[in-house]
Chain A
Amino acid sequence: MMCDEVTHDLDAYVDRELNADSIVAIRSHVSACTSCRQRVAERETLGRMVRSVPYRVAPDRLRARIVAHVQRRRSVHQMFAWAAAAVLIVSIGAAFMFVRSATIQSDALAEDLVDSHVRSLLAAHLFDVQSTDQHTVKPWFLGKLNFAPPVVDLASVGFPLVGGRLDYVSGQPVAALIYQRQKHLINVFVWPASTEGSGARARTIRGFNVRHWVQNGMSLWAVSDLNDAELNEFVHAQQMSPPAR
């Protein structure tokens, strides 16, 4: 090893940043070379001199400032966390109440419709217009409702239209369309929907099967003593039928 190689690695050597082989090489050179030994000693002395300068520690007021900042931030964080938690709880509560009240309203409506269905059977007030012809039933509603209910005949799939009736649900006039499957009657209550289209929702009230769906801007409720499978078939047939002209 030459002196200029030692020069190159001098600082890495005194800083113990060299690998073992290089350390051994420098040591053996330094033990034989007076001037290199001198330079290593000077570097080590210089390091001791620098380290003799006292370390400056942070003043107490700086520490206090930083700790205060941390605590302030932490309390702000906690406040935000609490606020966020509160907002979340209130939102969940509100959403729950909203869904719950919507469900209650919807349940009450379904009850009304079942009542209306039963009444239509008991009071022999099933039809205002008795016709299996959709082109007779549909115009009959003109002038009685401020909307035109979709009237389709589903006789081809086993659900013949038998008539129509004006009914009142939740204080508003609605169209009731009556379909038949064998001995079973199906009341379909129709009025303009306030929400977008949705799939059919099923429930059973006092033994009657109820289906609700939204189609072409109309809210439709089918109520019948027909079994689940056949009522589903009926709803499907309704949904598949093209919008009434």
Chain B
Amino acid sequence: MRSRGFDEVVLPHLDAAYNYARWLSRNDTEAEDVVQDAFVRAMRFLPSLRDADARPWLFAIVRNAWYSRAARRAGSPERLPFDAARYDPIDRAPDPEARLLRQHAVARIREALEQLPPDFREVLVLREFEEMSYKEIASVVGVPIGTVMSRLARARDRLATLLSSSPLPMERRR
């Protein structure tokens, strides 16, 4: 039965789908809504998956759900304000000072990533967090593999520039 397939094929990717949606939307509530939309669609379209790999297929659905929500809002998804106070990375480093430093470093990287245009951000997320191949990324994003490669190169160049120029968030807010 098809719902059984959903439990085995789609549900295991819930965390990954959420992480991706969270990076796209940069907002907890929005990410939840996107994933919910995507999973409802995935359930409906599961028969079309057949034997193909579920992860790129599901990510493409998440991506579409995000873009159609963004289009419905008729506003640019990039206008969402950055809120550093939301960041609460779980860190179990024993030394409080080392933990603080690492939190600063993580917050800074996260902020830099969120400043990237979504096209650049998503290829980096798919590559670094999901360790997808260029081919998989190409199928999620719907562009040729060459475009994936050039986007990744430009995204990394941009990220490197942001990280080398921006001060630590604590210092900047002071």
* 6 closest cross-chain pairs (CB), A and B: A58-B18, A74-B3, A50-B128, A57-B15, A11-B153, A54-B89
Judged by a CB distance under 8 angstroms, whether A65 is at the interface is yes
- Report A114 CB to chain B, min CB distance, Å: 55
A236 beta carbon closer than 8 Å to chain B:
no
Min C-beta distance of B149 to chain A, whole Å: 6
| Apart from A50-B124, A58-B32, A70-B6, 20 more pairs, CB < 8 Å | A15-B127, A17-B134, A17-B149, A46-B156, A49-B105, A50-B128, A50-B129, A52-B105, A53-B89, A53-B109, A54-B89, A54-B106, A55-B129, A56-B18, A57-B19, A58-B14, A70-B3, A73-B3, A73-B43, A77-B3
Taking each of A55, A62, A77, which has the highest tally of chain B beta carbons within 10 Å of its own beta carbon? A62
A-B contact pairs, 20 of them (CB 8 A): A43-B156, A46-B160, A49-B163, A50-B113, A50-B128, A52-B105, A53-B106, A53-B110, A54-B91, A55-B15, A56-B18, A56-B19, A58-B17, A58-B32, A59-B28, A63-B14, A65-B36, A66-B36, A70-B43, A73-B43
Q: What is the CB-to-nearest-CB distance from B132 to chain A, in angstroms, rounded to a whole number? A: 10
Point out the residues of chain A lying under 8 angstroms from B40, CB to CB: 69
**Contact count band on A:** 20 to 34
Residues of B contacting A49 in the complex (Cβ-Cβ under 8 angstroms): 105, 109, 163
Taking a contact as CB atoms under 8 Å apart, the answer to whether A62 and B22 are in contact is no
State in angstroms the CA–CA spacing of A70 and B18 once bound together: 17
CA distance A53 to B36 in the complex (A): 24
B133: interface (CB < 8 Å): yes
Is B11 engaged at the interface, CB distance under 8 Å to the other chain? yes
Whether A69 contacts B109 by the Cβ 8 Å rule is no
B152 at the interface (CB under 8 A from A): yes
For A71, the closest partner residue in chain B by CB is B3
Residues of B within 8 A of A (CB): 1-3, 6-7, 11, 14-15, 17-19, 22, 28, 31-32, 35-36, 39-40, 43, 89-91, 102, 105-106, 109-110, 113, 124, 127-129, 133-134, 149, 152-153, 156, 159-160, 163
Say yes or no: B153 contacts A10, CB within 8 Å. Answer: yes
A18 vs chain B, min Cβ distance (A): 10
Closest residue of chain B to A69 (Cβ to Cβ) is B40
Does A115 make an interface contact (CB < 8 A)?
A: no
A55 to B19, CA, bound (A): 6
Nearest B residue to A63, CB-CB: B14
Supposing A56-B22, A59-B32, A62-B18 touch, asked if A70 and B149 sit within 8 A by C-beta, the answer is no
Q: Is the CB of A58 within 8 A of B159?
A: no
Query: A222 vs B41: C-alpha distance in the bound complex, in angstroms?
Result: 64
A24 within 8 A of B: no
Once the chains are docked, how many angstroms separate the CA of A69 from the CA of B11?
A: 12
Q: How long is the Cα–Cα vector from A51 to B11 in the complex, in angstroms?
A: 23
